[in-house]
Chains A and B, each alone.
Chain A
Amino acid sequence: KAGVTQTPRYLIKTRGQQVTLSCSPISGHRSVSWYQQTPGQGLQFLFEYFSETQRNKGNFPGRFSGRQFSNSRSEMNVSTLELGDSALYLCASSPGLAGTNEQFFGPGTRLTVL
């Protein structure tokens, strides 16, 4: 089976812009979660989608949003980018809900905000 894929792998944006990141889960997985990874804060949970519904949400501002399509592919959007949004954004898929199942992580999208 192909693994979790994320596009693009690298992205450079300027403050105030918006960005959309894409994630394709492993075939058959219905859960997709997003995480922000930074050296200072580690891995922080953004949100989880399961069968096109947002199941859980972390403690991030409303500028961070996401959605999941019927084929389980997911997108994450960040509007009005701030310098502090620079991070590695990881997507993870799971056959069941993320909290109780193994998660399979993609390689991440490295976002740099200038």
Chain B
Amino acid sequence: AQSVTQLGSHVSVSEGALVLLRCNYSSSVPPYLFWYVQYPNQGLQLLLKYTTGATLVKGINGFEAEFKKSETSFHLTKPSAHMSDAAEYFCAVSEQSGGSYIPTFGRGTSLIVHP
């Protein structure tokens, strides 16, 4: 079964600092990869998605993620954190199983941004 690991349940950065949220998965074949963000009392919103092609994926709000097949990783980065980036971030991986793709989500990483 697919597993998704997000290292660090909480990540704290200063405003203006680099944001790095880590995601590793267990799939042995290239899956579909997603990052979602959840603000308090709201549903999840897609930040970016990788299917095939370029391994560096650009998303909304200045976020990007790089697919590294050899490391089975899909880390999320943003060069400069903003206070409004404080939220819960989820990595999701879809792997084919029995003809269907079922999304598996990581446990989430809470991003805290200090002024």
Contacts and interface: CB of A to CB of B under 8 A. Distances in A.
Contact of A43 (B41, B45, B101, B105): B105
Given A92-B43, A105-B44, A98 B105 contact: no
Contacts of B45: 105
B43 A107 contact: yes
Given A42-B107, A103-B103, A90 B49 contact: no
A94 to B, nearest CB: 10
A56 B102 CA distance: 7
Contacts of A58: 102
Given A90-B44, A105-B43, A106-B43, A97 B101 contact: yes
A102 B100 contact: no
A65 B72 CA distance: 34
A42 B106 CA distance: 7
A103 B44 contact: yes
A12 B44 CA distance: 23
Interface residues of B, number: 23
Interface in A65-114: 90, 92, 97-100, 102-108
Contact of B102 (A41, A99, A103, A108): A99
A103 B102 CA distance: 12
Interface in B12-53: 32, 34, 36, 41-46, 49, 51
B49 A102 contact: yes
Contacts of B41: 107
B105 A42 contact: yes
A100 B102 contact: no
Given A97-B100, A103-B46, 11 more contacts: A42-B90, A43-B90, A45-B102, A45-B104, A56-B102, A92-B44, A102-B34, A102-B46, A106-B43, A107-B41, A107-B43
